[in-house]
A and B are shown apart, each in its own frame.
Chain A
């Protein structure tokens, strides 16, 4: 297993503009990666078009059917208000995936800005950014997220931002290492000797070299972000119930854990399956990227 610097070295040594589309590497994802990709595709379909898989209104209440065990009418059972758990799990995909992707984008963007500053700036800038990320790492991720929420108040948007900010230092470290590697690569040296402007070198050579490995890591990060965002919902500071969000559904199911375990089991299973699939896919993408 290669360390984080290795893909950067390869990316830095590669001629720019040779980035192929992800589809052309489909064959190199491997069996596990292909299964994971299929799961992610299903999740994306569920997020974009929930009616295709679950149907029905995730908020429709049928008190007569409350707390029904899984059966033909309700494959995943119903919750305390008679809402169909399967419909809610399918509907919850959108909330979880959107929060996960947005949080990763926030974290990734903040990380790229910080990391590029540290990687290209002088010693002082590097030291300052290095210290800041070090301090952010001194705090557990959930604690950083909770401190952010303590300031902003609970809700879905604060939870997304909180997870994003909490993951930013991780990306900053990776980007810094990649940018430093790319900066000392021959491609950049040649460009400097050719008299290219610093901005052009940054955009054409340094950032593209750093971007691909970050995309691979960010793919892994989406899985984690989904888990952390649903953890915040579970703790009652993220997406509030009765919105169909997996973490919020688990929080709901807590009261009925011993009488209606299906209320907790299925949303949780959805988180595990999605997070695992995204992680496996992220690794396969990284391997495919490193193998080029």
Chain B
């Protein structure tokens, strides 16, 4: 997809209207909100259904599973109580309805391993994981922009070097990167603590570990966008006006390259959460990722279900925010060119042409 002078302009077009019908703006936004809401509820409903099926697939008595599996030594009365409470003695469809009803009213059940409501556990652990994911995304963007600058503005050697580093960065496993960082910066140099102690310095290594793989593929997309933009008419015009190299990069090329990156950030969220699951184990951070691993080893299904739902809900929100940002940044809402570019960038990540099918 070469962008030459004759093809559709890649940057802002001076002649294109910023909004097609300013008067129709409000209803467009209302429609957007409704569609997002409906889509989000649909995703949550589907995830809840999958979780319900997953719980039913566990061999043995589901009431026992709720109470902690065959090894839980639950009393007969407790099993009976759970069976009545969840309606395990009733038809599957009724159970499904009960399950959905409990979810809709915010009842995620009790974690058998921690003997506390799942909602309480999630409230304690979610901030840790969210901090990790959000800080990771910010750091990843900084690294990605730096890498894009190096690979497009510093000659061929820097480009080849950055290319090799970004490929490696995008496949490096979190658990190994975390270990290496601990050995180098915590053990040998002693700059930061090895295990997170709640202080700001304790966050440095976990955030960096989560950020690097995401930065790897974010950098590749941003670089592609910058290379694309360099060939466009607006870059030539800006250079003609005497724009400096840094100015051209920061004010023009990056703006063009950032939009696919924003769409990509929403999809990077999945990768960040996957990373958080591992990184929380490496650095002993008390987040939902570590809770999930514990829950899976102990087959604590209520907690697994709760984490899956919260994670899906977070994803729905992130996707909506990314869409919102995209719409605010880009005036050409709904009109062909930009949506296509953004969708393509997204498809690249979803489809995984860059990084295999497992970019999440």
Binding site for B on A (CB under 8 A): 1-4, 6, 32, 107, 111, 131-132, 134-135, 137-143, 146-147, 149-151, 153-154, 163, 166-171, 173-174, 177, 217-218, 220-225, 227-228, 230-231, 234-237, 247, 250, 253-254, 257-258, 261, 264-265, 267-269, 271-272, 275-276, 279-280, 282, 286
Contact of A150 with B295 at beta-carbon distance under 8 Å, contacts A141-B360, A250-B176, A250-B179 already known: yes
Besides the contacts A137-B270, A174-B357, what 13 more A-B pairs have beta carbons closer than 8 Å? A143-B292, A143-B311, A147-B54, A147-B296, A170-B350, A170-B356, A177-B347, A217-B351, A217-B353, A224-B356, A235-B277, A257-B187, A258-B187
B352 & A174 in contact (Cβ 8 Å cutoff): yes
A150 & B299 in contact (Cβ 8 Å cutoff): yes
A227 & B171 in contact (Cβ 8 Å cutoff): yes
Q: Chain B's nearest CB lies how many Å from the CB of A230? A: 6
Across the interface, name the chain A residue whose C-beta is closest to B164.
A32
Interface residues of B in 303-338 (CB under 8 A from A): 304, 307-308, 311-312, 315-316
Residues of A within 8 A of B359 (CB): 170, 224
Q: How far is the CA of A218 from the CA of B355 in the complex (A)?
A: 10
Contact of A231 with B174 at beta-carbon distance under 8 Å, contacts A139-B47, A279-B167 already known: yes
Q: A276: which of B167, B296, B311 is its contact (CB, 8 Å)? A: B167
Binding site for A on B (CB under 8 A): 1, 42-43, 46-47, 50-51, 54, 57-58, 164, 167-168, 170-176, 179-180, 182-183, 187, 194, 224, 267, 270-271, 273-274, 277-278, 281-282, 292-293, 295-297, 299, 301, 304, 307-308, 311-312, 315-316, 344, 347-348, 350-360
Residues of A within 8 A of B170 (CB): 279
B315 & A139 in contact (Cβ 8 Å cutoff): yes
Residues of B within 8 A of A177 (CB): 347, 351
Contact of A264 with B347 at beta-carbon distance under 8 Å, contacts A138-B47, A276-B168 already known: no
Tell me whether chain B's interface is mostly helix, strand or loop, or mixed. Answer: helix
Q: B173: which of A231, A253, A257 is its contact (CB, 8 Å)? A: A231
Q: A272: which of B168, B183, B301 is its contact (CB, 8 Å)? A: B168
Q: Chain B's nearest CB lies how many Å from the CB of A217? A: 6
Q: How far is the CA of A265 from the CA of B179 in the complex (A)?
A: 8
Q: A137: which of B274, B281, B360 is its contact (CB, 8 Å)? A: B360
A220 & B304 in contact (Cβ 8 Å cutoff): no
Contact of A268 with B356 at beta-carbon distance under 8 Å, contacts A138-B315, A150-B304, A177-B351 already known: no
A147 & B304 in contact (Cβ 8 Å cutoff): yes
Residues of A within 8 A of B316 (CB): 138
B171 & A268 in contact (Cβ 8 Å cutoff): no
Residues of B within 8 A of A230 (CB): 173, 175
B351 & A4 in contact (Cβ 8 Å cutoff): yes
B175 & A146 in contact (Cβ 8 Å cutoff): no
Across the interface, name the chain A residue whose C-beta is closest to B301.
A150
Residues of B within 8 A of A139 (CB): 47, 270, 308, 311-312, 315
Q: Chain B's nearest CB lies how many Å from the CB of A138? A: 5
Across the interface, name the chain A residue whose C-beta is closest to B319.
A138
A217 & B292 in contact (Cβ 8 Å cutoff): no
Q: How far is the CA of A9 from the CA of B179 in the complex (A)?
A: 44
Q: A257: which of B54, B182, B224 is its contact (CB, 8 Å)? A: B182
Q: How far is the CA of A250 from the CA of B315 in the complex (A)?
A: 30
Q: How far is the CA of A173 from the CA of B270 in the complex (A)?
A: 17
B311 & A237 in contact (Cβ 8 Å cutoff): no
Residues of A within 8 A of B304 (CB): 146-147, 150
B171 & A3 in contact (Cβ 8 Å cutoff): no
Q: List 25 A-B contacts (CB under 8 A).
A: A3-B344, A4-B353, A107-B357, A139-B308, A143-B274, A143-B277, A147-B54, A147-B308, A150-B295, A151-B57, A174-B351, A220-B355, A221-B352, A224-B171, A224-B356, A235-B278, A254-B282, A264-B176, A264-B180, A265-B180, A268-B173, A271-B173, A272-B172, A276-B167, A279-B167
A173 & B167 in contact (Cβ 8 Å cutoff): no
A264 & B168 in contact (Cβ 8 Å cutoff): no
Contact of A237 with B297 at beta-carbon distance under 8 Å, contacts A2-B1, A140-B270, A140-B360 already known: yes
Residues of B within 8 A of A268 (CB): 173, 175-176, 179-180
B58 & A151 in contact (Cβ 8 Å cutoff): yes
Q: Chain A's nearest CB lies how many Å from the CB of B226? A: 12
B179 & A257 in contact (Cβ 8 Å cutoff): yes
Q: Chain B's nearest CB lies how many Å from the CB of A188? A: 22
Across the interface, name the chain A residue whose C-beta is closest to B188.
A261
Q: Chain A's nearest CB lies how many Å from the CB of B268? A: 11
* Of listed B58, B187, B351, residue having the most chain A CB within 10 A: B351
Q: A280: which of B167, B299, B311, B360 is its contact (CB, 8 Å)? A: B167
Residues of A within 8 A of B57 (CB): 151
Q: Chain A's nearest CB lies how many Å from the CB of B196? A: 15
Residues of A within 8 A of B353 (CB): 3-4, 174, 217, 220, 286
Contact of A231 with B175 at beta-carbon distance under 8 Å, contacts A4-B353, A143-B311, A276-B168 already known: yes
Residues of B within 8 A of A253 (CB): 179
A138 & B292 in contact (Cβ 8 Å cutoff): no
Residues of B within 8 A of A134 (CB): 43
Q: How far is the CA of A134 from the CA of B270 in the complex (A)?
A: 13
Contact of A279 with B356 at beta-carbon distance under 8 Å, contacts A139-B47, A177-B347, A237-B293 already known: yes
Q: How far is the CA of A254 from the CA of B183 in the complex (A)?
A: 11
Residues of A within 8 A of B282 (CB): 254
Across the interface, name the chain A residue whose C-beta is closest to B45.
A135
Q: Chain B's nearest CB lies how many Å from the CB of A19? A: 20
* Of listed B176, B273, B348, residue having the most chain A CB within 10 A: B176
A142 & B277 in contact (Cβ 8 Å cutoff): yes
Q: Chain B's nearest CB lies how many Å from the CB of A127? A: 11
Q: How far is the CA of A137 from the CA of B349 in the complex (A)?
A: 11
B273 & A143 in contact (Cβ 8 Å cutoff): yes
Q: How far is the CA of A247 from the CA of B174 in the complex (A)?
A: 11
Q: How far is the CA of A217 from the CA of B355 in the complex (A)?
A: 8
Q: B278: which of A217, A221, A231 is its contact (CB, 8 Å)? A: A231
